[in-house]
Amino acid sequence: MQPNLLEKIVSLCKRRGFIFPGSEIYGGLSGIYDYGPLGVELINNVKQSWREEMFRRQDNIFELDSSILMQRQVWEASGHTSAGFTDPLRECKKCHRRYRADHLVEEGINPALAGKGGVDKCPNCGGELMEPRSFNLLVETHLGPVKDDSSLTYLRGETTQGIYVNYKNVKISMSAEIPFGIAQIGKAFRNEITPGHFIYRMREFEQMEQQHFVKPADAEKYFDYWKNERMRWYIELGIKKENLKFHPHAKDELAHYAKAAEDIYYEFPFGWHEMEGIHNRGDWDLSRHSKFSGQDLSEIDEKTGERFYPYIIETSAGADRSVLAFLCDAYDEDTKNKRVILKLHAKLAPYKAAVFPLLRNKPQLVEKAREVYLKLKKQISGPIVWDDRGNIGKRYYSQDEIGTPYCITVDFQTLQDNTVTIRDRDTMKQERVKIQGLQDILKEKIGK
């Protein structure tokens, strides 16, 4: 891992239009980030790759887009309003800074102030810390004109709950039979005590979650299946195997709903941390929603005639955390020429190719290059970018820095024989090809 990698990525993201601090002109808003033009392309490509995986490659999974706001009872049934969805908070008696108690212990912030078993003095001012208390992470809001207890609800803390409340709707309307899955991508909100590490821990973020409804006896089999499938997805999209591992949860680490859980960990610049969770949620969710809503969400086993609540195997990935991992893994430096190469998988790269005229002051070259560019834009489903700034070397480097896998140059030979050069970002090798076959060659290279 390179020194200061996270700082370098934060700077690249801002400089090249990937990710900006939220509300920046007003001084920023902790834990909130905005995606710029290239960031939108990147995160959309991550989400699209996940959708392709779930709905094309896997079998029997249905897509949903449920609302962010739900009945408050949903969060009571799910256990999120009670102790299950809290973090331990410690506040400084002197400067009133707040810390997550487990992070003070884990990260040993300012070890000089650490007492036995972690920190007992404020890392900021050395003041005494209050005893830990539970802090609920749900973000509250009110619906309707009257702001009182009856109008209180929450921005969803996970997308999953929208799937459970629609379980019967999807099952009946799609004639789905167990085992089957429901998956959705969407925003989630958590009032994190200490957001940080750029887009790793945010207060508004995006999840890509899939819930597989299975017979209780099949739960272990599906848990293993999904663990391996999800790991494969990251590797196929270019993350180096050595930067990934499974982290099984010990009994005392399990979330309130989980019978078993394993995280996919990535080695971020700040250490090994969770990127996705695979959970065996048992019958917690459907039994609780049945109880709280009064609607029976159980099923009948056709063979035995017995009623059962389907077990749920959940795959819960963060779109933003995946983006951060893909950026960290792709970041490379050419130290000799002091430049950055973002070796993103072509499927994830914001631009699939750039088209240049060799010289911008030669109208014949510009005209021919525009022709190639406009044609490719129609032929290739991913974005193609035009670039005629500076000299050709600078253009190559500029495209390398944002991960564009291929650069196509129209030069004087093009005017003679209708060929162009294609330069590969990672090998820097150029090949000369006919314009006529360009779209097929590019499609083959970028897998579209």
Stretch that binds ligand GAP, among 139-147, 231-239, 310-318, 349-357 (CB under 6 A): 310-318
How far apart are CB 249 and ligand GAP at their closest, in Å?
10
- Spell out the residues 6+ positions from residue 282 whose beta carbon is closer than 8 angstroms to its own: 216, 219, 257, 258, 259, 311, 312
Asked if residue 75 binds ligand GAP (CB under 6 A), the reply is: no
CB 16 within 8 A of CB 26: no
Q: Which two tokens stand for residue 404?
A: 């564009």
How far apart are CB 36 and ligand GAP at their closest, in Å?
18
Asked if residue 321 binds ligand GAP (CB under 6 A), the reply is: yes
Binding mask 156-185 for ligand GAP (x = CB under 6 A): --x-x-------------------------
Q: Looking at beta carbons only, is 284 or 356 nearer to ligand GAP?
A: 284
Nearest to 283 by CA among 317, 310, 246: 310
How far apart are CB 290 and ligand GAP at their closest, in Å?
19
How far apart are CB 21 and ligand GAP at their closest, in Å?
15
Q: Looking at beta carbons only, is 181 or 277 nearer to ligand GAP?
A: 277
Residue 118 CA to residue 211 CA, distance in Å, equals 37
CB 317 within 8 A of CB 302: no
Sign of CA dihedral 335, 341, 342, 345: negative
CB 223 within 8 A of CB 313: yes
CB 411 within 8 A of CB 364: no
CB 257 within 8 A of CB 314: no
Among residues 41, 53, 87, 192, which is the contact residue for ligand GAP, using CB under 6 A?
A: 192
Q: Looking at beta carbons only, is 113 or 260 nearer to ligand GAP?
A: 260
Coil, strand or helix at 431: strand
Binding residues among 354-413 for ligand GAP as defined by CB under 6 A: none
Residue 426 CA to residue 148 CA, distance in Å, equals 58
Q: Looking at beta carbons only, is 130 or 254 nearer to ligand GAP?
A: 254
Q: Looking at beta carbons only, is 118 or 277 nearer to ligand GAP?
A: 277
Percentage helix, strand, coil for the chain under 3-state DSSP, each rounded to 5: 35, 30, 35
Stretch that binds ligand GAP, among 148-156, 171-179, 297-305, 315-323 (CB under 6 A): 315-323
Which amino acid, residue 49? Answer: S
CB 411 within 8 A of CB 381: no
Among residues 16, 156, 190, 423, which is the contact residue for ligand GAP, using CB under 6 A?
A: 190
How far apart are CB 320 and ligand GAP at their closest, in Å?
5
Say how many C-beta atoms besides its own lie within 10 A of residue 295's C-beta: 11
Q: What is the largest CA-CA distance in the chain?
A: 79
Among residues 45, 81, 207, 210, which is the contact residue for ligand GAP, using CB under 6 A?
A: 207
DSSP class of 156: -
How far apart are CB 240 and ligand GAP at their closest, in Å?
19
Asked if residue 318 binds ligand GAP (CB under 6 A), the reply is: yes
Q: Which two tokens stand for residue 94?
A: 């002197």
How far apart are CB 161 and ligand GAP at their closest, in Å?
8
- Spell out the residues 6+ positions from residue 30 whose beta carbon is closer than 8 angstroms to its own: 195, 203
Binding mask 276-305 for ligand GAP (x = CB under 6 A): xx----------------------------
Stretch that binds ligand GAP, among 110-118, 168-176, 269-277, 421-429 (CB under 6 A): 269-277
CB 317 within 8 A of CB 50: yes
Q: Looking at beta carbons only, is 103 or 201 nearer to ligand GAP?
A: 201
Asked if residue 329 binds ligand GAP (CB under 6 A), the reply is: no
- Spell out the residues 6+ positions from residue 126 whose beta carbon is closer than 8 angstroms to its own: 113
The angle that helices 363-379 and 435-446 make with each other, rounded to 10 degrees, is 50
How far apart are CB 447 and ligand GAP at their closest, in Å?
25
Q: Looking at beta carbons only, is 320 or 387 nearer to ligand GAP?
A: 320
Q: Looking at beta carbons only, is 266 or 351 nearer to ligand GAP?
A: 266
Q: Looking at beta carbons only, is 274 or 332 nearer to ligand GAP?
A: 274
Phi/psi of residue 315, nearest 5 degrees? -115, 120
Block residue for tokens 């670039």: 387
Among residues 205, 222, 356, 373, which is the contact residue for ligand GAP, using CB under 6 A?
A: 205
Asked if residue 275 binds ligand GAP (CB under 6 A), the reply is: yes
Q: Looking at beta carbons only, is 139 or 170 nearer to ligand GAP?
A: 139
Residues that bind ligand GAP (CB under 6 A): 158, 160, 190, 192, 201-202, 205, 207, 209, 274-277, 314, 316-318, 320-321
